[in-house]
Structure 1
Amino acid sequence: PPRQLIRSIDRFIEFEIPAIIVTNNNEVPDYLIQAATRRYISILRTPLSTTRAVHLLSEYLEEKFAPRTSMHGSLVDVYGIGMLFTGRSGIGKSEISLDLVERGHRLVADDLVIITKQAEKVLIGKGREIAQHVLEIRGVGLIDVRRIFGIRGIRMQKRVEVEVHLVDWENAKEYDRTGLEDKTTEILGVEIPQIMLPIHPGKNITVIAETIALNHLLKTYGYHAAREFNKRLKEYMMNKDEVPLYQDHEYLKKDKE
């Protein structure tokens, strides 16, 4: 091979290179193979263009080396919103997930949710491969959601967008009744909305979960029900004195007639 090529290859492999990827199915020079073999460097060849290969490799490496954590809970896709149900063991997370799947929503993971941070503010959740889409229902045992409900009842992964933290109802405790102040929780440095949901026997948590998802969609599009109601209430209180005056005027007018 030309001396210039040999010098270029020698300088190139002086670095600690784990592998060399040759794109566009280009021919690999014999001297490069010999030099790489001496330094135990793998050579890979692909028909992909350089731009496409770099893009796919970058995505793969970002996913593999992304910050990750695991959380005890259940992740369900409800109306396109990734809802992470958390709470103490035995509070009913799996039962709620099963009920949601039966109503047409999709299970992502149960018991242990693996969460990775794949972008600046994007959290992706999925289940363990060995136990993916398997629900543990106390008193019943393990349930394979995919076998029972089919492919429409599962997802492989989903963005985590809302945490619904289930707590036991306490009569003496005050709970949020307006929702004016949005509470958040932090996972891997990313803040997401958190709903503290007290539960007790007879409370339809499934319908409430669906409502939380729809309400989150409304907030995403700029409509905040609690704040809108608060705004209307303030306007009403400011103008409340005008209503009786208007009514009195109408009554007086009718009396004269």
Structure 2
Amino acid sequence: MKTLTIEQLASKFSLQVIVGTEKLQTEIKQPRSHRPGLEFVGHFDFFPTQRVQILGKKEITYLHKLSHEERKMRIGNIVKYHPPCFIVTAGDKGLTYLTQHCIEENIPLLLTKEPVVTTDFIARLDAYMVKELAPEMTVHGVCVNVFGIGLLLRGDSGVGKSETAHTLIGRGHRLVADDIVVLKKLSAQTLLGTHDEKTKEFLALRSIGLLNVVRSYGQKAFQNETRIALEINLTKWEKDALNNDLEQEPSYTDYMGIKIPSMEIQLQPGRDIAGLIEAAANNWFLRQQGYSAAEDFLSRLEPEFSVSNE
């Protein structure tokens, strides 16, 4: 399981460490931050003690208005739970009291280098932590983005996944990962596909070797990550195995509890596999909009059926 430390967080967001440098290797367990409010007035029934605590202008202004003794009590009630760290987004003016509490309890206190909009900072921070701490797995395949839709190409080694991805790049689509695809579960419905850093931007083609797609075709040929919407299995051609049904029965593949729609495309010399993948992506998108070509076609035949039955 991946880990995330306070030091990594400080580095990512260029945070200034006020106190607690010896605790920067503390691991963050929860992928979302918390902005204390009710806790300052004594309600701790649902206080998420393992989350990073954010203090913005609203919280700091409230604390400044309290008397010395009341402020000491309010902050003391929170720091005794030993959250991983505090991040202040409202500047360092008048933070002596908070600094002292963090020193006494050995809790890291960090500061944005300049005052920022707290809600915006929380959104960026939480998005980063969710990705870094998300459950993940690796699969053999290729991940591409076609028409803005994330596709996971699966199939046996040597079947032609990378070559198909290369053709798609030539049509203006983007590579995300080749050979090793890292899948991250961001939520119960969201599966993110990305690379493992080592293979970033590389595409391995048999008979050619490694290509750096950004160097070869420009930045437009690569995308760092994409939400996986559809899995396409590339398989060898089997005579009489395909049919011409108006609409295929839906099937799914389960990745960490997330069911991804899955379909098969058989390979044969002369078949435009890249074109079929584009068609699959477009068809998936239309279905999300509530449109079914099969239903539309059958609706056009209904008047003829009605006449023949009279």
TM-score range (shorter-chain normalised) is 0.7 to 0.9
Provide the residue aligned with 2:272 in structure 1. 204
Residue 17 of structure 1 pairs with residue 112 of structure 2: no
- Which structure: larger Rg? 1
Q: Give a deviation string over 1:135-186, Cα, whole Å, max 9, x none.
A: 1111211111010110111111111111111112222645564324222223
The alpha-carbon distance between structure 1 residues 128 and 170, as it changes in their structure 2 partners (threshold 3 A), is same
1:13 positional shift: 1.9
1:196 positional shift: 1.1
Q: What is the one-letter code of the residue matched to 2:138?
A: S
Q: What is the one-letter code of the residue matched to 1:57?
A: L
Contact 2:146–2:174, Cα closer than 8 Å, also in 1:
yes
1:115 positional shift: 1.8
TM-score, structure 2 length as denominator?
Answer: 0.70
Q: Structure 2: any 5+ residue segments left out of the alignment? A: 1-66
Q: Give a deviation string over 1:39-92, Cα, whole Å, max 9, x none.
A: 321111121233333333222222222232222111111122212111111111
Task: State the distance in 2 between where 1:44 and 1:28 align.
Answer: 14
Range that drifts further, 39-48 or 229-238: 229-238
Task: State the distance in 2 between where 1:214 and 1:7 align.
Answer: 60
Aligned identity (percent) is: 33
1:239 positional shift: 3.2
Provide the residue aligned with 1:44 in structure 2. 110
Structure 1 SS opposite 2:271: coil
Provide the residue aligned with 2:36 in structure 1. none
Provide the residue aligned with 2:222 in structure 1. 154
The alpha-carbon distance between structure 1 residues 222 and 30, as it changes in their structure 2 partners (threshold 3 A), is closer
Indicate which of 155, 165, 168 corresponds to 1:87. Answer: 155
After TM superposition, the structure 1 = structure 2 runs for residues 47-86 of structure 1, keeping only pairs within 5 Å, are 47-86=115-154
The alpha-carbon distance between structure 1 residues 222 and 51, as it changes in their structure 2 partners (threshold 3 A), is closer
Structure 2 SS opposite 1:159: strand
Contact 1:180–1:226, Cα closer than 8 Å, also in 2:
no
Provide the residue aligned with 2:101 in structure 1. 35
Provide the residue aligned with 1:185 in structure 2. 253
Provide the residue aligned with 1:129 in structure 2. 197
Q: What is the one-letter code of the residue matched to 2:83?
A: I
Task: State the distance in 2 between where 1:181 and 1:56 align.
Answer: 40
Paired residues, number: 242
Range that drifts further, 36-45 or 149-158: 36-45
The alpha-carbon distance between structure 1 residues 226 and 154, as it changes in their structure 2 partners (threshold 3 A), is same
Contact 1:180–1:227, Cα closer than 8 Å, also in 2:
no
Residue 215 of structure 1 pairs with residue 283 of structure 2: yes
The alpha-carbon distance between structure 1 residues 241 and 199, as it changes in their structure 2 partners (threshold 3 A), is same
Q: Structure 1: any 5+ residue segments left out of the alignment? A: 243-257
Contact 1:22–1:28, Cα closer than 8 Å, also in 2:
no
RMSD: 2.4
The alpha-carbon distance between structure 1 residues 56 and 206, as it changes in their structure 2 partners (threshold 3 A), is closer
1:28 positional shift: 4.9
Provide the residue aligned with 2:168 in structure 1. 100
1:238 positional shift: 4.6
Q: Give a deviation string over 1:214-252, Cα, whole Å, max 9, x none.
A: 22222222221223334445654453467xxxxxxxxxx
